[in-house]
Structures are given as C-alpha cells and as structure tokens.
A and B are shown apart, each in its own frame.
Chain A
Amino acid sequence: KAGVTQTPRYLIKTRGQQVTLSCSPISGHRSVSWYQQTPGQGLQFLFEYFSETQRNKGNFPGRFSGRQFSNSRSEMNVSTLELGDSALYLCASSLERSPRAFFGQGTRLTVV
C-alpha cells in the first residue's frame, strides 16, 4: 500500500497570505489527523477528521481550519499567515478505532 502522501513538500509564503496543504491517507483509512511540529513546541495536535466530520480540535486559532472529502483526502488551510506559523505540518491516517497512526513526510511551510 502507498503511504500517507502530503503535498506540497515545501512551501514559502508571505505574511498575510493564506495556504492550503493536502493529505492523501492510506487506502482504507478514514481517520486523518493534522499536527504542527516546531522546534520550540514540538508536535501539537491541530484537528482530526473522520468521514468528513471534525471530531476533535486542538488549541489553535480559528485561522487554522481543515476539511475532509468523501474519498478521505484531507486539506488544511491557514489564513492570514504569521511568521510563527512556520513549521512542519504532519498528517497521519489510521483505521477507525486503531491506535496506530501512520504519518506522512510532512509539508515544510516557511512564512517570510
């Protein structure tokens, strides 16, 4: 099976712009989670989707949003980018009720 695929791998944006990141889960996985990884804060949970519904949301401002499509692919959007949004954004997929999360390679976002 192909692994979790995230696109693009690298992105450079300017403050104030918005960005959309994409995640294709492993075939058959309907749960998709997003995490932000920074040197200072480590890995922090953003949100989790299952069957197009957001089930859980982390402690991030409303500028961070996401959605999931009927084919389980997910996107996350960050509006009005700030310098502090520079991070590696990781997506993980899993089977329903499975504790095992499979991670993508991430999208490296740099805000200048």
Chain B
Amino acid sequence: AQRVTQPEKLLSVFKGAPVELKCNYSYSGSPELFWYVQYSRQRLQLLLRHISRESIKGFTADLNKGETSFHLKKPFAQEEDSAMYYCALRGAGSYQLTFGKGTKLSVIP
C-alpha cells in the first residue's frame, strides 16, 4: 500500500525565515513525488515534482530514497507563500495520486 504522511497540520513562520514542509512516504518501488499548493480561493495546482529537480517560486524539494522523504524547502518565506501544501505520490504505471493530508503554511509579516 502507498501512503503519504505530512506530520504538521499547521506551520507558522515569520517572513524572511526558512521554511521546511515535511513529507514522508511509503511505497515499495520507485514513485513519482509531487508538491501541490492551494492558495486561498484558488484551485489546487502543481508546484513542483521530483523528476524535474526544478525550483519554483524559490521552493525546492529533494527526494531522499533512504529516508523515504520529499521535504519542501524555501530559504526565505514570503507572505504570498501562505497556502495549503499537499505532498503527493504516484506509483509506477499508476494513474492515481495519493495525497498527504496537507500542511497549512502561515507566513507572519
């Protein structure tokens, strides 16, 4: 069975402080990992995925297969980063996304 765990329901940081949103997964094989974000009153949208190894809006995420983690990081939080963040996994050959329960990030001005 595949599972995604986001241990923090709510994370509050001050503007300019570093941010780390934790994500751990359980999957026997090589999954694809994603971070989705939902800003207030907006649709759920893809932020980044591990395969592309990109940085979007200053966020990066590294897949650590040994620790089965895919933490999302940003060195300096901005107020506009306040949103719900969901970590998601897709198994090899699968068409479904398994989501974590999400972490609400609140950036304090």
Contact = CB atoms under 8 A, between A and B. Distances in A.
A99 B90 contact: yes
Interface of B: 32, 34, 43-46, 49, 51, 86, 90, 94-102
Closest 3 CB pairs of A and B: A43-B99, A42-B101, A45-B96
B7 to A, nearest CB: 14
A58 B99 contact: no
Interface of A: 3-4, 31, 33, 35, 41-45, 48, 50, 55-56, 58, 90, 99-105
A41 B98 CA distance: 12
SS class of chain A's interface: helix, strand, loop or mixed?
A: strand
A42 B102 contact: yes
Given A33-B96, A103-B44, 9 more contacts: A42-B99, A43-B99, A48-B96, A90-B44, A99-B90, A100-B49, A101-B97, A103-B43, A104-B43
